[in-house]
A and B are shown apart, each in its own frame.
Chain A
Amino acid sequence: KAGVTQTPRYLIKTRGQQVTLSCSPISGHRSVSWYQQTPGQGLQFLFEYFSETQRNKGNFPGRFSGRQFSNSRSEMNVSTLELGDSALYLCASSLVGGLQETQYFGPGTRLLVL
């Protein structure tokens, strides 16, 4: 079974631009979670989607948004990029997002904001 895939793997943007990242979960998984990883803050939860609905959201500004499609693929968008948005963005999938479930991570998208 194929793992979680994320595209693109690397991105370079300038301040003020916006960016869209894509995540394809493991086949059959309907929950997709997004995380931001930085050296200073570590891995922080952004939001989770299930059946095209955002069920949970972390403590990030509204510039960070996401959506999920009917095939469970998910995208996240960051508008008006800031230098501090430079990070590794990881998505993880699980069957239904239950607290007892294992999350499987993709390789991440490394975003550099100049």
Chain B
Amino acid sequence: QKEVEQDPGPLSVPEGAIVSLNCTYSNSAFQYFMWYRQYSRKGPELLMYTYSSGNKEDGRFTAQVDKSSKYISLFIRDSQPSDSATYLCAMSAAGGTSYGKLTFGQGTILTVHP
């Protein structure tokens, strides 16, 4: 079983829809949670970064972390065709063996059609 599970989709929504992306994890040592966006033929770029349980909002994006359930979410409001990309959740764990290591979900392919 993978440490981080993410539904790969694909997910197709109309422009303006609210998109919900989710990941579950099994390693209780994960403390920092990130969402990256990756366009085709590009490297991942950081969208959201959270530490504690709760919500964090940045423009049209809201990240939620529920450590008790080992569940994280990313919501995209008023989705745009330019949001079409692969969304990757990533996590980092405490401990000396965690230097420079992010553990990623499989990624969800999102298409927003006009």
Number of A-B contacts (CB under 8 A): 76
Tell me the smallest distance from the CB of B102 to a CB of chain A, in Å. 6
Size category of the binding interface on chain B: 20 to 34
Q: Is A77 an interface residue (CB 8 A)?
A: no
How distant is the Cα of A106 from the Cα of B31 in the complex, in angstroms?
24
Q: Tell me whether A103 and B88 are in contact in the complex, defined as CB-CB below 8 angstroms, given that A42-B105, A108-B43 are known contacts.
A: no
Residues in chain A near residue B45, CB distance under 8 A: 105
Q: Which B residues are closer than 8 A to A by beta carbons?
A: 31-32, 34, 36, 41-46, 49, 51, 88, 90, 92-94, 97-107
Query: Do the beta carbons of B42 and A107 come within 8 Å of each other?
Result: yes
The size bracket of the interface on A is 20 to 34
Contact with B along A8-51 (1 / 0, CB 8 A): 00000000000000000000000111010000001111001110
The answer, among B31, B88, B93, B100, for a CB contact under 8 Å with A55, is B100
Please, which residues of chain B bring their CB within 8 A of the CB of A58?
A: 101
Which chain A residues have a beta carbon within 8 Å of chain B's beta carbons?
A: 4, 31-33, 35, 42-45, 48-50, 55-56, 58, 90, 92, 94, 97-100, 102-108, 110
Q: How far is the CA of A105 from the CA of B42 in the complex (A)?
A: 9
* A4-B43, A99-B32, A108-B43 known; A56-B97 Cβ under 8 A: yes
C-alpha gap A42/B107 in the complex (Å): 7
Instruction: Find out whether the CB atom of B44 lies under 8 angstroms from the CB atom of A45.
Output: no
